[in-house]
Structure 1
Amino acid sequence: MKFSYTPIYTYYRKIKDKIIFYPSVFSISGVLFAFLMMYLENRGISRYLIDNVPILVVNNGDTALTILSACITGLISMMVFSFSMVMVLLSQASSNYSPRLLPGLISDRNHQIILGIYLYSILYCIFILFSIQPTGDKYQIPGFSVLLGILFTVGCIYAFIYFIHNISESIQITYILDKTFLSAKYTLNKLLEHEGEVRSSFPEIEKWFEYCTDKTGYFQDFSTDYLLSFCKEKEVMMQILPVKGMFVLQGIPVFKCSKELTEDEVKDILARFHFSRAELVSENYVLAFKQITEVIVKAMSPGINDPGTALNAIDYLTKLLQLRMLKADETFISDDNINYIKVRSVKFDELLYNVMAAIRTYCKQDIIVVQKLGTMFYFLKSQEAKSEDFFKVLDREAERMLEDAEAVLDNRTDLEVLTRIAKKLNLN
């Protein structure tokens, strides 16, 4: 059986996207490596290098202290500056685009790893500094360890140059949109790969037994392998009640089962549900639609007034909707052609309505954006879909968009453009 959720793995999932996770791992590694080098110094590694390759070893105590002190001071300054740049990025993304983008930016591993490299080098240099004896002879000075501290500092300088390059890209809306799109695309493609033919043969669940959670948070995922094995072993069927990404309160039913379960069985199952205090696109593709929609709405607000960003975001939204049309509204987890688990998901009509309701409200007065949305609907109607009902949903939302735009636009040329869009979409 594949790996399933355990308390340790669940805790790891919660902390791995925190901005402090990788810096903490690197910090511990730096301290451990410093102690390892102290041990090797006591075993005579610097003595061997002085006798064979003296050019690689710093053999003066005062020089070693000065070099390491300068390295520590410079590294701390670089780390403070880098951390300040991350805060500027988060502040600008929150004020100009959408606060929902912050969890994804905070979880950027490049920024975390670079901060971790700084901490690794700083802590290594500090502990090596303590082991230097300024009045000792050349064989008592950890010369090779000092050389490694210098090399780590040089590596940090190159990491800082890369950080400046990366942060200058990360602050651009096109980079943020592309990152959000790629994350949601990966999640959707993974769902499509595991989605077989949808079979509607699933019994009514009205009289099934409900079980509630004792946790509060955003429902992110559950252990598919464990629940499937449990259902097969106990010969039961389940339905997962909350939609992924939904905020679940303590005491809310989270699943139903066709048979009554023992307290221990319920506890084991609930332990396989993953709840989080933050929302991530990698966990829930629907969040990508919310983020891109909010970027469009924020760009069209009077305070920002950036139609170009809105047009770019609509391109990404179009591609995501195309992928979503390939996914069925109902999801089943089955084995041997038997559906054991039914998973609730956001239906296509609900998803498109929530997206277009916000966009219609703030973009209906801009004919250029309305034209772009018309192109989006025209493209989507020419694509494949899991259900023919999806095309009816597209027509319905296109009609609502044109109706709202017609109500606020007075220019005759603009109204003629709306008429051409309606004819192109074959709307009455």
Structure 2
Amino acid sequence: MKAHLLRIADRLRESYWFVPTIMAIGALLLALTMVYIDSHSGSHWMDRFPWLYAARPEGARSLLSSVGGAMIGVAGTTFSVTMAAVVYASGQYGPRLLSNFMSDRGNQVTLGTFIATFIYSLMVVRTIRSPGETVGEVGFVPQLAVLVGVILVLCSIAVLIFFIHHVPSRIHINSVIERIGDRLLAEIDNRFPVFVGRPLDESADDDRIPDAFRLDASPAAIERRGPVRAKDNGYIQLIDEETLLDTARANDLILRLQYQPGDFTHRGSVLVEAWPAEALDEDATAALRTAFAIGSRRTALQDLRFLIDELVEIAARALSPGVNDPFTANSCLDWLGAALADLARRDLPSRLRADEDGVLRIIAHPMTFAGFVERGFGALAQYASADKIAGQHFLAALGDVALSCEAPERIATLVLQAKQFRDLAERALSGASREAVLTRADELLRALAEPDYKRRLRDGNAWLGGTA
């Protein structure tokens, strides 16, 4: 249930209707409140302020009518401009970036402000009465409500000025990349080192894995696996860790996750395997199934690979022959390097997860450091290797990640990536461009082969840095 609630909250955050609706309801309540205050207190309070003048019925009605008409027109124009910006960004940077613009709070508040001002004016203007309109009743002008309407108009003008500046600044490519990179770094900080449960030492606790989940499992042991199958088609957007742990502990189960956030699943595919199968009753199966939120598209709720893929997509499009913009690709490489450098300083969680009592409950499948490097740099290598500017920056970013690495196996991952990139560049480039990229690759490989590679990389900062 928690997973589905979080998915609904994410959908509301990315919708254009939720914030304007809340603001419209607020405007409606504000109008009713102001009119109520005016009807009970009158407008005598305005006599204490010589710079305030009580409006007459015709003037107040004309003012609010003009405000309402203008606001709905500006709201329509704002919506059109927003849609044009969204279509442009989707075409230029990739359709998967559409949700980034849909969730922009500035656009939502701007649209909501104009709609709220329109609704407020509409609700207040209907309460204005001229003398003689109704037999036996005097005229009524909600002076305080009209004054608040004028204040809302001034706020709307300020929001319009903000919106004119906001739209071009948000679709600027560096701003788009920065938002993705910032969220990637924030998700890394939130997710690691803890992912699901308490990590165990894999080498020391490998004997805790049931025989049914081992590679050499016998047919009899495999029969004791209880599958939990999906009922929907789509991408796994969220996995509720607490539900998995609580259900496994309550039923004395050990679970093996078959998917991770971002993977596509279809009806009938096995989401989780539980051991022993005889302890997996219908209630436990239903609880485990509700721990997975499945939707039509990938999201960044728990999927770090999705954010990496967004940066890779922007860089790949920038390096395509039709665009040929290596400097945009360099910006993506900078943020990928920053994210992987941050990741290199962290202990990635074990695939074995225990409950509070130290009992193995979940066998997960988190990505390794090598997996993240391959997802980012590996996916971009074929594009950057064909361009001198992007190729040199690619190697610089690898060197920057190496400065944050301590574990030999992570350095080996970067060495392998540099060698593979060198081979690609050797085949894709020619002439002076080929010589420049291969020379830089050889310098990086020589530095990484030495025990004091960090000193060598820092001493070689003239070629590792300053290449933007």
Q: TM-score, normalised by structure 1?
A: 0.90
Q: Aligned partners of 1:337 and 1:284: how far apart in 2? A: 27
1:358-373 equivalence runs, <5 A: 358-373=379-394
Distance 1:59 1:239, change over 3 A: same
| 1:326-341 correspondence runs (5 A) | 326-328=346-348, 330-334=350-354, 335-341=356-362
Aligned mate of 2:129, from 126, 133, 154: 133
1:113 corresponds in structure 2 to 109
- The answer to which of 254-263 and 58-67 deviates more is 254-263
Instruction: From 84, 89, 100, give the equivalent of 1:88.
Output: 84
2:16 — aligned with what?
19
Q: Determine which of 399, 418, 424 is the counterpart of 1:378.
A: 399
Distance 1:342 1:380, change over 3 A: same
Deviation at 1:406, TM superposition (A): 0.5
Cα separation, 2, equivalents of 1:41 and 1:274: 50
Question: Which residue pairs with 1:190 in the alignment?
Answer: 190
Contact 1:406 1:418 in 2 (8 A): yes
Aligned residues: 423
Q: Please state how far the C-alpha of 1:51 moved relative to its aligned partner.
A: 5.9
- Given that 2:117 and 2:153 are in contact with CA atoms closer than 8 Å, whether structure 1 keeps it comes out as yes
Which is worse superposed, 418-427 or 209-218? Answer: 418-427
Q: CA deviation at 1:170?
A: 0.3
Deviations 1:256-309 (A, max 9, x none): 222332222322332232223333334322111111111111111122111111
Greater Cα offset, 178-187 or 111-120? 111-120
Residue 366 of structure 1: how far off its partner (Å): 1.3
Q: Deviations over 1:97-123 (max 9, x none)?
A: 222111111111222122112221111
Structure number with greater CO (CA < 8 Å, separation at least 6) is: 1
With over 3 angstroms needed to count, the CA separation of the structure-2 counterparts of 1:188 and 1:416, relative to structure 1, is closer
Structure 2 residue 209 is the aligned partner of structure 1 residue 203: yes
Q: CA deviation at 1:354?
A: 3.9
SS in 2 for 1:368: helix
Does the 8 Å contact 2:308/2:375 carry over to 1?
no
What secondary structure does 1:116 align onto? helix
Is the 2:68–2:121 Cα contact (8 Å) retained in structure 1?
yes
Could you say which residue in structure 2 is the equivalent of 1:172?
A: 172
Given that residues 208 and 258 in structure 1 are in contact (C-alpha distance below 8 angstroms), is that contact kept between their aligned partners in structure 2?
yes
Which 5+ residue runs of structure 2 have no aligned equivalent? Answer: 214-221, 450-468
The secondary structure found in structure 1 opposite 2:16 is: coil
* Partners of 2:7 and 2:430 in 1: CA distance: 56
The 8 Å contact of residues 98 and 294 in structure 1, kept in 2 or not, is answered as yes
Paired residue for 1:422?
A: 442
Cα distance, 1:139 vs structure 2: 5.9
- Which residue is 1:256 aligned to? 273
C-alpha displacement of 1:126: 0.9
Asked if the contact 1:49–1:57 (Cα under 8 Å) also holds between the matched residues in 2, the reply is no
Give the stretch that moved more between structures: 320-329 or 375-384: 320-329
Code of the residue aligned with 1:267 in structure 2: it is A
Structure 1 stretch 69-78 or stretch 132-141: which is displaced more?
A: 132-141
* Structure 1 gaps, min length 5: none
Shift of 1:59: 3.3
Percent pairwise identity:
21
TM-score, normalised via structure 2 length = 0.82
Following the alignment from structure 1 to structure 2, what is the Cα–Cα distance between the partners of residues 384 and 405? 25
More divergent stretch after superposition (369-378 vs 199-208) = 199-208
1:63-74 to structure 2, matched below 5 A, reads 63-74=59-70
Shifted more, 68-77 versus 260-269: the winner is 260-269
d(CA) in 1 for partners of 2:429, 2:5: 57
Let me know the Cα RMSD of the aligned residues. Answer: 2.6
Moved more, 171-180 or 14-23: 14-23
Structure 1 residues 22 and 342: CA distance shift in structure 2, 3 A: farther
State how far apart, in whole Å, the 2-side matches of 1:98 and 1:28 are.
Answer: 35
Residue matched to 2:460: none
Once residues 10 and 171 of structure 2 are traced to their aligned partners in structure 1, the CA distance between those partners, rounded to angstroms, is 26
Moved more, 29-38 or 328-337: 328-337
